[in-house]
Amino acid sequence: MRRFDELRKECLEANQMLPKVGLVDLTFGNVSILDRERGVIAIKPSGVDYNKLTLEDIVLIDGDGKKIDGKLRPSSDTPTHVRLFRGFVGMRAVVHTHSRHAVSFAQAGMAIPCLGTTHADYFYGEVPVTRPMKEAEIKGMYEWETGNVIVERFKELGLDPVDVPAVLVHGHGPFVWGPSGAKAVENAFALEIVAEMALKALQINPQARPIGRNLLNKHFLRKHGADAYYGQPQLG
């Protein structure tokens, strides 16, 4: 068996899910998976078409972003992924896309408000947007600084990245995460759905306001946390 094949396989399958659920155009986007115990990250190679992606193409990097195995260059967003894994210790997978409705909010510099219960099922309140990046950050270690502004925003707002597993980078697009590759992609898909719903709701009624805390709590907590009761219990 090749080195870290299971990790590579999870990464490959998660990346291949992105075009299947309509989250990417061209080669925009990437997924990474972390083996935190062994300090290894599997990530999509830069600029490779999803339809041509193979297990051997998946690149392995260490916790500093240095390539340790693979013939291709890792995603140009690799430093952002590494920074998020360091800053948000509860995650195993990071997804970055340029999904159109989520990007629309990012380009507008606007958080996605929690206008309804579909949003509340996945995100415990609005999905935040970062501040615009400074000139020095853009001209410096841009991708690393992108991760920094994400972590900074969550600290400013006092948000738990487990409860709000997504962010919009101002003028750029969404980064989303989760406990597995499949779940992170599901969260990214949910983000795109609620972004489209919010956009349409605000077009219909520009004065639309977020749902109340009681309804938010009900819908989020029935699916998440110790007292969740949505779905079926694990069997066996």
Query: Has 121 been annotated as catalytic?
Result: yes
Catalytically annotated residue among 121, 160, 163, 227:
121
- Residue with tokens 């629309």, as numbered in its chain: 104
Of 5, 25, 160, 230, catalytic: 230
Q: State residue 164 phi and psi, 5-degree precision.
A: -125, 85
Task: Give dist(CA 122, CA 106) in Å, integer.
Answer: 19
**In whole angstroms, what is the distance from residue 30 CA to residue 41 CA?**
13
Q: According to the 3-state scheme, what is the secondary structure of 110-176?
A: CCECCCCHHHHCCCCCCECECCCCCHHHHHCCHHHHHHHHHHHHHHHHCCCCCCCCEEEECCCEEEE
Is 229 a catalytic site residue? no
Residue 224 CB burial class (10 angstroms; 0-12, 13-18, ≥19): middle
Report d(CA 110, CA 118) in Å as an integer: 19
So which residues are the catalytic ones? 121, 230
